[in-house]
Structure 1
Amino acid sequence: MRSLIPNTLTSLNLVFGMCSMMATYQGDYVFGAVFILLALVADGLDGRAARAFGVSGELGKELDSLCDLGSFGIAPAFLAYSYCLAFYGRLGQAVAIIFALCGMWRLARFNVNADVVHGYFMGLAIPAGGCVVATSIWLFSLTGTDATILLPCFPAAMVVVSYLMVSGIHYPNFKGDGGEKIYFASKVFALLVFAGILYLGREAIVPAIFLGVFGTYMLFGVFNYALHLVSGK
């Protein structure tokens, strides 16, 4: 019975993912994006609940990965396709499929390397990647941005996010366990990026804040890892 609560939270992750796809199908891109963020909340709570009740196990891990693929791989890809990528025909379909496939690959690699990689995340985590897509569409929808003016920038950005998920870039996990070094220049860079996103999205400040958080983290990891490679430390 103790596993019921964490497993319910894990299942709620996928429930929100399905709600996102149904909202997207009905043309409601705001709720299509918001449901993905709610899935992230459920995803963050299930692990904490499992540890609190002492019921962490292999079944929970498998359920978590399957739900993550649906909520942060397939749902954002469908949202992006419906909102913008469909204008590209077959190419847009390919971009959406690539995003979902890269998310699947990212989850599989994480599961395999869970006992090997410590102190950082290898590649952008799929929840972060999915939320970058979701929050950007949320912002565009509330500001009345015409999807056609995003071409070809949005499809290119989707491909970049897809690549970052399967890349070897080290993203700090901020757990304080002696992981990836965070440079001062990276902190300044992150502050500037976050401020820039808030300024550009000031007409819809709530989604701008969420996009600022996820977008800044995505770019911060790239910048910080580049400094690590240059410094050789």
Structure 2
Amino acid sequence: MKYWIPNAVTALNLVLGMISLGFTMQGDFVPAGFFIVAAMIADGLDGRVARALGVSSEFGKELDSLCDLVSFGVAPALLAYQFALKEFGWIGFSVAIFFALCGALRLARFNVNTTTVKGYFMGLPIPAGGCLVGTFVALGYKPSGWTFPILIAIFAYLMVSSVHYPDFKGKGNEQIHAIPVILTAVMAGYILWHSLEAIVFVIFFSYAFFGVLNFAYGLFGRQRITAAKQ
């Protein structure tokens, strides 16, 4: 019986993602966004439950990926489309498809790289990407012009990028630099100063923003050291 407990928690991830889709189709964007966050919480619990019970399985890993694609790929893509992307015609529809596609590619790459990529995440994890879109839409703010589709496309690309994101599990080998931390804190403070209601969005935005800054800073530092040795 205990073998089904972590799988039930994984399935809860999918259930919550489907509830998000239901709210999106009804035009209730705020609960739709936060049910994606709820799905992320369930997604974070299933692995811990499996390890605690000593019942990790290949079946559970496959089920987890399938549920993640719905909750953090399809659900936020449709949410973004219904909220604002549909106003941009076929381009907005293409951006929504692009987000879901990048989510699928991110999951596939993660599954095949589990033995080679350790101590960090290559690309923005799909739960973070989905929650980033979900909480952004939940704010109810529609940026002017083409800002919204551009942002969604950037969020999508980050999932399939080579940017190294820290895993924060105590065994990461990705160095965290002070300057990106400070810049991220300043940006987060600036957003919260203008809208304290954005606090949940800021959590996911800060992670995405910090990953890019930290990775770029690390690359710049390594190039500078290489140039100094030549």
Q: In structure 2, what is the Cα distance between the partners aligned to 1:116 and 1:82? A: 38
Q: In structure 2, what is the Cα distance between the partners aligned to 1:150 and 1:108? A: 34
Structure 1 gaps, min length 5: none
Q: Is the counterpart of residue 48 in structure 1 residue 38 in structure 2?
A: no
Q: Could you tell me whether the CA contact under 8 Å between 1:197 and 1:211 is conserved in 2? A: no
2:101 is matched by which residue type in structure 1?
Answer: L
Q: 2:138 maps to what in 1?
A: 138
Q: 2:181 maps to what in 1?
A: 187
Q: Could you tell me whether the CA contact under 8 Å between 1:79 and 1:134 is conserved in 2? A: yes
Q: 2:2 maps to what in 1?
A: 2
Q: What CA deviation, in whole Å up to 9, does each residue of 1:131-186 have, x standing for no partner?
A: 1100011112xxxx4x4x53310100011111110000111111222410001112
Q: 2:171 maps to what in 1?
A: 177
Q: In structure 1, what is the Cα distance between the partners aligned to 2:159 and 2:76? A: 14
Q: In structure 1, what is the Cα distance between the partners aligned to 2:50 and 2:23? A: 30
Q: Could you tell me whether the CA contact under 8 Å between 2:77 and 2:100 is conserved in 1? A: yes
| Structure-2-length-normalised TM-score | 0.94
Q: Is the counterpart of residue 201 in structure 1 residue 195 in structure 2?
A: yes
Identity of aligned pairs, percent? 52
The size of the alignment, in residue pairs, is: 223
Partner of residue 209 from structure 2, selected from 219, 224, 227: 219
Q: 2:228 maps to what in 1?
A: none
Q: 1:102 maps to what in 2?
A: 102
Q: Could you tell me whether the CA contact under 8 Å between 2:29 and 2:83 is conserved in 1? A: yes
Q: Could you tell me whether the CA contact under 8 Å between 1:14 and 1:70 is conserved in 2? A: yes
Q: How does 1:112-123 map to 2 (within 5 A)?
A: 112-123=112-123
SS at match of 1:121: strand
Q: Could you tell me whether the CA contact under 8 Å between 1:139 and 1:201 is conserved in 2? A: no
Q: How does 1:80-91 map to 2 (within 5 A)?
A: 80-91=80-91
Q: 2:22 maps to what in 1?
A: 22
Q: What is the deviation of 1:3?
A: 1.6
RMSD: 1.1
Q: In structure 2, what is the Cα distance between the partners aligned to 1:134 and 1:193? A: 20
Q: 1:168 maps to what in 2?
A: 162
2:209 is matched by which residue type in structure 1?
Answer: L
Structure 2 gaps, min length 5: 226-230
1:164 is matched by which residue type in structure 2?
Answer: L
1:23 is matched by which residue type in structure 2?
Answer: F
